[in-house]
Chains A and B, each alone.
Chain A
Amino acid sequence: MKKASKVVTVLVFVFLYVPMLVLMIGSFNSSSDLVVFKSFTMDNYRALFADGVLLPLLLNSLIISVIASLASTVLGTAATLGIHRMGKRMRRFTMFLTNIPMTNPEIVTGVSLALLFAFAGQLMKIKSILGFWTLLIAHITFNLPYVILSVQPKLTQMDPNLTKAAMDLGCTPVQAFFKVVLHEILPGIISGALMAFTMSLDDFVISYFVYGPNFVTLPVEIYNYTKKPLHPKIYALFTLLFLAILAVMLLMNILQARDTARQRNSRQKARAGQPTV
């Protein structure tokens, strides 16, 4: 059984990575067709940097996802702290609210926000309401539940006496929060923020319903591109993005591994009766 599952694992990884390999090979192809490899070229990369259409869109995507993930992290963390103190009924209601965007199909969220913005636009007589702000609002909205759901467990795990202890030792409640609580829930906040960032960086469905002509994100434009003959420079962009994400992930992995290794070492030393550094 172990062998069988190993075989499956290898096959699944092949399955996951073959299409990406096809795209990456396509980025070096002088023909626009992914199927036939004509000859090796770097022209697609040159075209990508020369024409200045796709890179600003990537930047747009980054702007939106950074601001949206930061805003939803702050808003979501504050909300989680509040939820922690709520009565049972209120908490149930809030969690219900949180679960709506999580369980709703993305297309329904997108459609509902599109209708809301169209309605608001009519109400406020703004001709071009769709754009940066509507995208930002939509992204914050679907990011919030991820932040809350990853901060909440940390808060529940935390020993409530910690805050009391800090205050006994002379901290003001605000100090106690920043020195103790925040420190305890930080891993949750970080993973929430990361989750939010990746979710909004590659979000297509919701953005597709709330974007305007003046502010387009990369996934939306890629979709619009797929309705026309595709220029292979888009594969070049894909390859570069893949490498960038791979690099960031590897870096994080290595650092994390080093951290755990160090921790294990210090623990071992401590166990051996040596003073920890």
Chain B
Amino acid sequence: MEFFEAISAKFNYWIYVIIMMIGLYAMIAKTNMVKKLIGMSVFQTAIILFYVSIGVKDGATIPILYHDQVHAGHHHDDHAHNGEHYDTPHGTDHEADEYGYPSRHAPDVVIDGDDFANPLVHVLMLTAIVVGVSTLGVGLAITQKLHREFGTIEENEIHDMIKSGK
């Protein structure tokens, strides 16, 4: 039972390794070039699962502020626009920057760090997704060019053709 608890506490990390290894196996063992690229895609997607799992927080929501909080922010924004010297009813600690603008937007809004999931990993994975798509696209283009040149997408057949052609 303890073993299962240990796994379930880190379930995502176990699953990501298994998915990733499926992808890695396909990348190394398959001879069909498109299957290899599919493996590559699986491999990269597993990394995304890993990263996103890092950013999860119990009891937290997506990293976008609640409507109320934003609304309070806009209220103060209007103040700033009037160009008057910015003073808040609460007299909280906010100072103007060197150009006379408020140095903090909506200083009264209090944001609890535990309310929102970690946004950083999502940003990183957006990049990783883009990289994955780009690599897959280039890989497919190369495969297509090879198919045009050799008439097959089986890697061992291409090797045979090169050997016999020489």
Chains A and B bind each other: no
